[in-house]
Structure 1
């Protein structure tokens, strides 16, 4: 059944998550700002669904306001679930497993030269997979104690596997300053969780390498966030950028042989 207001227009429900632009739900669909990158993102989502990753939204098309239309995924954003679920070992391992499945399914879009796609984010070498580039708790959905969905693919682009894994580790170990108190883990427990996450992903990266890549990713994210603050006038973004730079220093220290 279609939900409509008194004037007969369909009701738009604002959704929250990691996206920095308006996202609304209409019935069982989601409407988002489209751009030159949208065809590439829709190709990625189609590829993931066909590749056996049902946790991603399916693209439907473009609406009469020029917004992309995606299927709505039910669930609660991982950031909003109780700590005992958010920080459970089961969820940690599920995130690593889902990221690996997504990466493996995306490889058919890499190379070949048959299609030139426009991505919103720059590609990074070595190009191995299509990275989500923001695979983190605020873009992950949970149903009961099961990781059930991942959203917000706007900034996806080709890159190395470790790039996505490093940012996921930053958020899930966690090493992020704004998650340390909530998680309650000791430094040793966080490092052990990093090792378990790498094992769940299934590629034997060295933890020190993941941390170094994470530091580089945070410095890049800090620059992006500062630029976004100038564009939008949001006063909270410089504080986020400053945290990313502090956390990058932390990750570099943890990755050093002396640690």
Structure 2
């Protein structure tokens, strides 16, 4: 029987070697792959379906995952997150993931791909919940992809990063929104943070964003790819500008989250 043709998949900034084969995706593996597969299996076993399901390793040593049909939001499909109730839906999906992962016990020999050490380690966080990793299909077919950088982190660490991407909290004129504070509140209300968590989140928004700039700068200085190329292309400058935009408006985010 003839095997389906391999179709290279693009999107995001790190997609070399990622292909679609029929209803599956094949990706390069790493030391973290067994732990990530254990995590994804746990999520599906608990009823969380907003992620690919692992199917093992193929004869070329690549991981095999179920293919998630639909459209990726980033960079030119932000209309998929309108009206604001769709931002609330993203927040609820993240809350569902965080609740599902609470019961996950990593394998004793688990290795994780830790790119940026997180603040806190109460869960295994996705670490890259962003529009470039959200596939939107039908009403019941939204899913987060690219779990290979999942690693110990915290709920707020994931939420702060997700707010940056999904509101978005951006200094760039093409992405900056006059209703950013309203969307922050809608997102956080839908996720269900309490008052103490909201207070902790406000300063974390800037720190989490700035951590991306610092990571890219450090990796570029060492010549590590693909980060050095991203730094040369200006991604570091974009993260720094976004961090400054967020930090300069901390009072605005606090008012949105902590007042009536």
Partner of 2:79: 84
Structure 1 segment 122-161 matched on structure 2, within 5 A: 124-144=118-138, 148-161=142-155
Alignment of 1:52 onto 2:42: no
**Cα distance in 2, alignment partners of residues 220 and 199 from structure 1:** 25
Structure 1 spans left out of the alignment, 5+ residues: none
Partner of 1:224: 215
CA-CA distance at 1:199 after TM superposition: 0.7
Partner of 1:195: 185
Tell me the C-alpha RMSD between the 2 structures.
2.6
**Cα distance in 1, alignment partners of residues 25 and 150 from structure 2:** 18
Partner of 2:236: 241
Structure 1 residues 198-207 or 66-75, which shifts more?
A: 198-207
User: Does the CA-based 8 Å contact 2:230-2:236 persist in structure 1?
Assistant: no
SS in 1 for 2:249: helix
User: Does the CA-based 8 Å contact 1:75-1:149 persist in structure 2?
Assistant: no
SS in 2 for 1:45: helix
SS in 2 for 1:34: coil
Structure 2 spans left out of the alignment, 5+ residues: 256-260
Aligned residues: 247
- TM-score w.r.t. length of structure 2: 0.84
**Cα distance in 1, alignment partners of residues 81 and 231 from structure 2:** 25
User: Does the CA-based 8 Å contact 1:95-1:147 persist in structure 2?
Assistant: no
